[in-house]
């Protein structure tokens, strides 16, 4: 008879609803406890606890999924592991290297598993891309360029108390184009760069923790709303031991670029559209299998010792980037004359920003290195 894995969920609303929908589709799991500091109206008969400590005192689920705001992750994650549960912790796992080290210590001491919610790392397209790089199909990889252009209306920035904030309740938090919306683009890029830098398999790259970092980080961030503290448009370039990693993203575009990673090598080029797991090698679309789910993989790890897809240690380079984001100057506020109304009337976009994103990716340039009027030379870095 198949063994049921019991699950507790901390942070029942927001993205926690997505986890609840997934759990409902997966018969090998049983959701036994929900926790949220706010009332949960639609618990569907599952026990609800107002704090994670109350939940852990009453139940010890096999796995606890933590889907609370970033600044709350460390203490909750620590308590979950200390209680003897395995952990699926939403991204970003923590906010800086000290927190990362503290959590890694708890993972090591308790012997529990910690999987981080970078679900795109379970992509078969990423595995195939890593295999192509390792097999030398692209030659020496010299660049990994991420590009994305989305629209997030004014209402997005008031979706929760930490939305658009650098601090909340006197402590740091993390939102913004790089910090949140395009976090998966950065993590995929770091994963690809790590494989390329190591000339290693995916597993070895994860053990190395990402050889493309530390490096020199150049970062430019912009915002279009005076009341929002974080970036809605940003570019970065990371140069180090491995390929040059760059990213150009915006949440202020009427034109949609889903999220492309262009991997350039001395013998070939690959493009990974990470939100959809589409992969092209030298322009030819590749057959790609389904994603492996992080929760299912964590349960397999418990049962058979199967390697985790996104163990805490693997995402260390992302945490290092997050720390650099927090330390960087506040994003520059764009002058209103660069903005035009979105066609649907839900906010203002940056005129021509998708073209700038494309050009920045092609040249691995920062926005200020292009001839765009809203990012003049000397933009804050
Ligand atoms: N992997 C992904 O694609 C993805 C997508 C969206 C969000 N996320 C991540 O999920 C996390 C939550 O994001 P969100 O957008 O759902 O935030 P949110 O603010 O909309 O929802 C968070 C929920 O947690 C609850 N909560 C807050 N503090 C709590 C605490 N101390 N104990 C228990 N419950 C608490 C809130 O009441 C709320 O219901 C973030 O880390 C975010 O980056 C990941």
User: Could you report the per-residue pLDDT of 244-291, keeping only the tens digit for each?
Assistant: 999 999 999 999 999 999 999 999 999 999 999 999 999 999 999 999
Checking if the pLDDT of 152 tops 70, the result is yes
Q: What is the pLDDT of residue 148?
A: 98
* Nearest atom in ligand 1 to 38's CA: 37
Ligand 1 centre and the CA of 71: distance in Å? 10
- Model confidence at 376, pLDDT cuts 50, 70, 90, reads confident
Closest ligand 1 atom to Cα of 73: 41
Q: H/E/C letters for each residue in the chain?
A: CCCCEEEEEECCCCCHHHHHHHHHHCCCEEEEEEECCCCCCCCCCCEEECCHHHHHHHCCCCEEEECCCHHHHHHHHHHHHHCCCEEEECCCCCCCHHHHHHHHHHHHHHCCCEEECCHHHHCHHHHHHHHHHHCCCCCCEEEEEEEEEEECCHHHHHCCCCCCCCEECCEECCCCHHHHHCHHHHHHHHHHHHHHHHCCCHHHHHHHCCCCCCCEEEEEEEECCCCCCCCCEEEEEEECCCCEEEEEEECEEEEEEEEEEEEEECCCEEEEECCCCEEEECCEECCCCCCCCHHHHHHHHHHHCCCCCCEHHHHHHHHHHHHHHHHCCCCEECCHHHEEECCCCCCEEECCHHHHHHHHHHHCCCHHHCCCCCCCCCCCC
How confident is the model at residue 193, as a pLDDT? 93
Predicted pLDDT at 161: 95
Ligand 1 centroid, distance to 319 Cα (angstroms): 18
Whether residue 198 has pLDDT greater than 80? no
Say what the pTM is.
0.95
pLDDT of residue 213: 53
Residue-level pLDDT at 200: 38
In short, whether 160's Cβ falls inside 6 Å of ligand 1 is yes
pLDDT at residue 210 in the model: 44
Q: Is 5 in the pocket of ligand 1 (CB under 6 A)?
A: no
Q: Which of 309, 247, 284, 263 is nearest to 134 (CA)?
A: 263
> Does the C-beta of 93 come closer than 6 Å to ligand 1?
no
Residue of the CA atom closest to atom 30 of ligand 1: 37
Share above pLDDT 70 across residues of the chain, in percent, rounded to a whole number = 94
Q: How confident is the model at residue 203 (pLDDT cuts 50, 70, 90)?
A: very low
Question: How confident is residue 201, by pLDDT bands cut at 50, 70 and 90?
Answer: very low
43, 48, 69: which to mutate for ligand 1, most atoms within 8 A of CB?
Answer: 69
Stronger pLDDT, 186 or 379, i.e. the higher one:
186
**What are the pLDDT digits (tens) for 169-184?**
888 999 999 999 999 9
Query: Could you give the angle at the alpha carbon of 276 between the alpha carbons of 256 and 268, nearest 5°?
Result: 90
CA of 331 to the centre of ligand 1 (A): 24
Which atom of ligand 1 is the closest one to the Cα of 11? 24
Confidence (pLDDT) at 177: 98
Kindly tell me if the per-residue pLDDT of 199 is higher than 70. no
Across the chain, mean pLDDT equals 94
Distance from residue 321's CA to the centre of ligand 1 (Å): 21
Confidence of residue 377 (pLDDT cuts 50, 70, 90): confident
> Is the pLDDT score of 209 beyond 70?
no
Task: Indicate if ligand 1 lies below 6 Å from the C-beta of 319.
Answer: no
Maximum Cα–Cα distance across the chain: 65
> At 143, is the pLDDT very low, low, confident or very high (cuts 50, 70, 90)?
very high
User: Which atom of ligand 1 sits closest to the CA of residue 161?
Assistant: 19
Which atom of ligand 1 is closest in space to residue 163's alpha carbon?
19
Q: For ligand 1, say whether the CB of 90 is within 6 Å of any of its atoms.
A: yes
Structure tokens at 170: 């006197």
Per-residue pLDDT band for 242 (boundaries 50, 70, 90) equals: confident
Q: Taking residues 321-331, what's their average pLDDT?
A: 93
Counting Cβ atoms within 10 Å, is residue 275 exposed (0-12), middle (13-18) or buried (19+)?
Answer: middle
CB of 119 within 6 A of ligand 1: the answer is yes
Question: How much is the average pLDDT of 76-97?
Answer: 98
């Amino acid at each position: 008879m198949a063994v049921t894995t019991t699950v507790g969920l901390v942070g029942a609303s927001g993205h926690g609803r997505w986890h609840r929908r997934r759990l409902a589709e997966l018969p090998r799991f049983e959701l036994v406890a929900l926790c949220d500091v706010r009332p949960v109206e639609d618990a569907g008969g599952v026990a609800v606890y107002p704090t994670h400590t109350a939940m852990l005192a009453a139940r010890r689920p096999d796995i606890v999924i933590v889907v609370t705001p970033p600044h709350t992750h460390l203490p909750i994650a620590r308590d979950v592991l200390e209680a003897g549960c395995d952990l699926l912790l939403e991204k970003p796992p923590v906010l800086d290297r000290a927190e990362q080290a503290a959590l890694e210590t708890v993972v090591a001491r308790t012997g529990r598993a910690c999987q981080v919610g970078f679900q795109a790392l379970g992509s078969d397209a990423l595995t195939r891309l890593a295999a192509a790089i390792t097999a030398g199909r692209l030659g020496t990889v010299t660049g990994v360029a991420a590009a994305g252009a989305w629209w997030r209306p004014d209402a997005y920035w008031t979706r929760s108390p930490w939305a658009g904030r650098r601090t909340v309740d006197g402590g740091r938090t993390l939102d913004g184009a790089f910090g949140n919306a395009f976090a998966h683009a950065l993590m995929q890029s770091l994963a690809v760069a790590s494989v390329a830098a190591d000339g290693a398999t995916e597993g070895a790259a994860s053990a190395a923790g990402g050889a493309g970092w530390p490096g020199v980080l150049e970062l430019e961030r912009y915002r279009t709303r005076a009341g929002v503290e974080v970036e809605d448009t940003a570019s970065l370039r990371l140069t180090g031991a491995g390929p040059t990693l760059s990213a150009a993203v915006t949440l202020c575009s009427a034109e949609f670029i889903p999220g492309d990673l262009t991997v350039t090598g001395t013998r070939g080029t690959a493009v990974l559209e990470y939100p959809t797991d589409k992969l092209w090698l030298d322009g030819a679309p590749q057959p790609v299998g389904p994603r492996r789910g992080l929760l299912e993989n964590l349960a397999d790890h418990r049962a058979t010792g199967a390697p985790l897809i996104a163990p805490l240690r693997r995402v260390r380079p992302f945490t290092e980037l997050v720390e650099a984001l927090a330390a960087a100057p506040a994003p520059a506020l764009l002058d209103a004359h660069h903005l035009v109304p979105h066609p649907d009337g839900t906010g203002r976009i940056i005129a021509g920003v998708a073209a700038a994103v494309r050009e920045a990716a092609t040249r691995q340039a920062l926005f200020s290195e292009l001839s765009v009027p809203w990012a003049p030379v000397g933009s804050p870095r």
